[in-house]
Structure 1
């Protein structure tokens, strides 16, 4: 799996508009969930993201196979890259 530096984005420059470029970096879980579900509250968005993760066993396994814990408040850069791999960018 490719490791992203802080200045890299999930997709090449020419595939996205300049108005919104999603950056692979560590995110608070609630912040990332709200990027995926902007019309929901932080709590509801996080619940829905958890459901998506639990629905896909291979995503769940790859997301939590590293040193990060399930109960951490943030998704690491590695975890964000895994989420983008399975769910596309928010």
Structure 2
């Protein structure tokens, strides 16, 4: 039987949800840390993400569709 490949959708994702898509074999916390390091090491991506962040004093646990689009543009689809 042929497996149907899922198409990645640009939408709002929880940080851990997206990280687990990139690193499915890691524990959730480790995957989130690794995705953060990948983002931090990609200067242009990091700069663009910092440019669209809204000033807030709370910790965000998700990526907006715009942020996901940038991550996919620079890192590729998970």
Which TM bucket (shorter chain)? Answer: 0.7 to 0.9
Runs of 4+ in 1 over 2 A off after TM superposition: 67-71
Question: Which structure carries more relative contact order (alpha carbon 8 Å, separation 6+)?
Answer: 2
TM-score (norm 2): 0.85
TM-score (norm 1): 0.75
- Alpha-carbon distance in structure 1 between the residues aligned to 2:29 and 2:60: 15
Which blocks of at least 5 consecutive residues in structure 1 are unaligned?
1-16
More helix as a share of residues: 2
- Alpha-carbon distance in structure 1 between the residues aligned to 2:55 and 2:75: 20
Question: 1:41-52 to 2 correspondence within 5 Å?
Answer: 41-52=27-38
Counterpart in 2 of 1:57? 43
Q: CA deviation at 1:56?
A: 1.3
User: Across the two proteins, how many residue pairs are aligned to each other?
Assistant: 74
Instruction: Please tell me the root mean square deviation across aligned C-alpha atoms, in Å.
Output: 1.9
